Amino acid sequence: MTDLSPLLQADKGQPATSLVLVDKSGFDAWLQAQPERVRQVLTAQGFKAEGYQLAIVQGEKAEWSAALGVANVGELSPWCLAKAAETLPEGTYRVEGQGPGPAALGWLLGQYRFDRYKAEKPKKVPRILLTDDPARIEESVQLAEATHLVRDLVNLPAQDLGPAELEAAAAAIAKDAGVKLAVTSGEKLAAEYPMIHAVGRAASQDRAPRLIELEWGDQRHPRIAIVGKGVVFDSGGLDIKNASGMRLMKKDMGGGAHALALAQLVIRSRLPVRLHLLVPAVENAISGNAFRPGDVLTSRKGVTVEIGNTDAEGRLILGDALTRAAEGAPELIIDFATLTGAARVALGPDLPALFANDEALAADLLAASEKVSDPIWRMPLWKAYNELFASDIADIGNSSDAPMAGAVTAALFLQKFVPDKMPWAHFDTFAWRASAKPGRPKGGDALGLRAAWQMLKARYGG
């Protein structure tokens, strides 16, 4: 993993190029206060303090500064400096008259590049930002590195990211002191986690399914569980997807990537909790032993599930993983999954759908989302829709024939594997950006990660 700490440093008065932040409300007064020469330069560059605008201002001698347009000088968002971090030349920079605050995160994320498969790799141009708040450095770097982890894992093609590679990513986190890694596979997986095994059994031997678990923390601390869907590629199984539907299915392990990243934040920050991380890792492939429509699987919980659609596989592996998580009696469970296209139809690519069975947990997550500008939207666990995935021959079906409420019915399916009084939140996230924004390039991305981390910090940060 790339070490991002050199890009954000404490301000000790070292030489640096000034970044002057200007918003629309203060632009006219600020412009009039500038020397005529500067006003001409800014006018020539069309600078009007619009969001993400950047203008270079040459000083009277060799020095220069940059004027940056922001939405609100007094209330910076994480993304205010991201465009500048993408485009400014190599060097050291200081925000004039104030600290970067939360915008330090966007500065780090704006310098992310995924160039593993480029024959000619773009030259890395490190831009260093100085901050007057040294206490924020470690937090910003850890959050940026966790986001980079999500992006890197999701961007990798399935040829280079199978269940074994997800296990390796967990093993890298487990190198921290006191972290225990356990992996269940083979006959033991088939016996103990039948739905995880069934979904992944059609894959080749070197991509065999497994349940990856990490345990960390002091036994005296509150226990929490984090679960992530790790479908490294989803063909749809025998209910095969069409070409366009399969194109982005390398990202179907995005929930697992979020879970790994959140676990990394918990461990490296030494949050006073007992962490249990679970990532069921499978490839939903097609072969002679693939699970079939009409099959009935007996879950780890004992609930029988009739398979109505092999492309509704994520909820199956999560069902077994959630059952295992609940056996540890955590005081809350959070799961992440790229679970349904229906959530994207309802909310688009930027808004993860949040489902929660506990009002306090939902409220805390929504408040955290607002605080860190990581938007999420709560959706209902509408119990009446349980009838939509009823089965004639099993306890439940895994899919509904109704062409509506797909995100809700998927969440209701997962809820059947969580004890009634155990607080649980489910993020149906896209884990992808179809188009670039400052600090957020096209490709894999963390959506909902910062909100979940902020909630955990607020609850358990001491």
Distance, in Å, from the CA atom of 423 to the CA atom of 358, rounded to the nearest integer, reads 5
What are the φ/ψ torsions at residue 384 (nearest 5 degrees)?
Answer: -60, -25
Any idea what the Cα angle at residue 373 is, between residues 428 and 260, rounded to 5°? 45
Residue 59: the pLDDT is: 84
Catalytic residues: 241, 315
Distance, in Å, from the CA atom of 26 to the CA atom of 29, rounded to the nearest integer, reads 6
Cβ(294)–Cβ(397) below 8 Å: no
Cβ(59)–Cβ(65) below 8 Å: yes
Q: Identify the residue whose tokens are 């004039």.
A: 96
Task: Please give the CATH architecture assigned to the domain spanning 8-133.
Answer: 3-Layer(aba) Sandwich (3.40)
In this structure, what DSSP letter does residue 349 have? S
Contacts of 220 (CB under 8 A, 6+ apart): none
Task: Please give the CATH architecture assigned to the domain spanning 142-461.
Answer: 3-Layer(aba) Sandwich (3.40)
Distance, in Å, from the CA atom of 306 to the CA atom of 291, rounded to the nearest integer, reads 11
Question: What distance lies between CA 128 and its chain's CA centroid?
Answer: 25
pLDDT tens digits, 175-232: 988 999 999 999 999 999 999 999 999 999 999 999 999 999 999 999 999 999 999 9
- Which residues in the chain come in under a pLDDT of 50? none
On whether the pTM is more than 0.75, the answer is yes
- Edge-to-edge strand ranges of the sheet holding 8-10: 8-10, 127-131, 91-95, 17-22, 64-69, 54-58
Rg (CA), the chain: 24
Residue 462: the pLDDT is: 59
Distance, in Å, from the CA atom of 391 to the CA atom of 284, rounded to the nearest integer, reads 23
pLDDT tens digits, 37-53: 999 999 999 999 999 99
User: What is the length of the chain?
Assistant: 462
Kindly provide the residue ranges of all beta strands, DSSP E only, lying in 121-273, ordered along the sequence: 127-131, 180-185, 210-216, 223-228, 230-234
Residue 139: the pLDDT is: 95
Instruction: Transcribe 13-46 into DSSP letters.
Output: S---EEEEEE-HHHHHHHHHTS-HHHHHHHHHTT
126, burial (CB in 10 Å: exposed 0-12, middle 13-18, buried 19+): exposed
Host H or E run for residue 361:
helix 359-372
What are the φ/ψ torsions at residue 261 (nearest 5 degrees)?
Answer: -65, -40
Instruction: Transcribe 229-279 into DSSP letters.
Output: -EEEEE--TTS---HHHHTTGGGGGHHHHHHHHHHHHHHHTT-SSEEEEEE
Q: How many CA atoms lie within 13 A of 129 on its CB side?
A: 34
Q: So where are the chain's domains?
A: 8-133, 142-461
